[in-house]
Amino acid sequence: MRTFEEATERLQWPKGDDSRKAPTQRSGFGLAVPKSVLFIGPERCDEFAHALRLSCQGHNVIAINPRETLAAKKFRRAGGRFIRARLEDLPPKCCRFDLICENYPYPSGRHYVPPRAFAIARLARLKPGGRWILVTESPRYASLLKAVGAHDGALRSRFRSTLSPLSIDEAAPSAYPRADRRFRLVFRRCR
């Protein structure tokens, strides 16, 4: 059986509202061991549908965003755990995750966060063996994040990363990205 991480990575964010397709796509996805999953910056229905599905499968799922959309309110009403805050507000010592999912952080503009601070805020919240999966339209930002992991002495020995292009169809259908390219960056904490 595929691992939770591989399955989630492969099935992450099909285009459109995948809530009806999900059960068949995810057959064999059930796990004996619940995982802790964090969704950073979700806004859309399909992001919360994904979070809710994992939650219904018994995983411990948190969605965090200082911005609460209508989809977030529905998620909360359906029993999902939504925290209206910034990721940085979660204490890293007691909040560690097996999987962190994030779609289209701001790669520039007034919300821009320098790559090192951005990466460390996320990597510090991964359990050993855990993954941070980021989808972005920005090859530059993705490369800078990858470089942080490769060149920072404290991170290099603890994390491995892969950066791969995605087709538009494979990526989440967000209204934010202006460019028509998509990339997936995965950081895995080795120890």
Which residues neighbour 146 within 8 Å (Cβ) at sequence distance 6 or greater?
Answer: 161, 163, 185
In the complex, least distance from residue 160 CB atom to ligand SAM, rounded to whole angstroms: 24
User: Which range of residues in 20-28, 52-60, 148-156, 168-176 is near ligand SAM by CB under 6 A?
Assistant: 168-176
- By CB under 6 A, is residue 104 in contact with ligand SAM? yes
**How far are the Cα atoms of 12, 48, 52, 70, 187 from residue 45, in angstroms, in the given order?**
14, 5, 10, 9, 25
Q: Which two tokens stand for residue 176?
A: 């934010």
Question: Which member of 40, 54, 101, 145 binds ligand SAM (CB under 6 A)?
Answer: 40
Q: How far apart are CA 182 and CA 156, in angstroms?
A: 25
- By CB under 6 A, is residue 103 in contact with ligand SAM? yes
Q: Which 51-80 residues touch ligand SAM, going by CB under 6 A?
A: 64-67
- By CB under 6 A, is residue 44 in contact with ligand SAM? yes
- By CB under 6 A, is residue 43 in contact with ligand SAM? yes
* Selection from 168, 177, 55, 169 nearest residue 104 by Cα: 177
Question: Which residues here bind ligand SAM, judged by CB under 6 A?
Answer: 40-44, 47, 64-67, 86-88, 103-106, 172, 174, 176
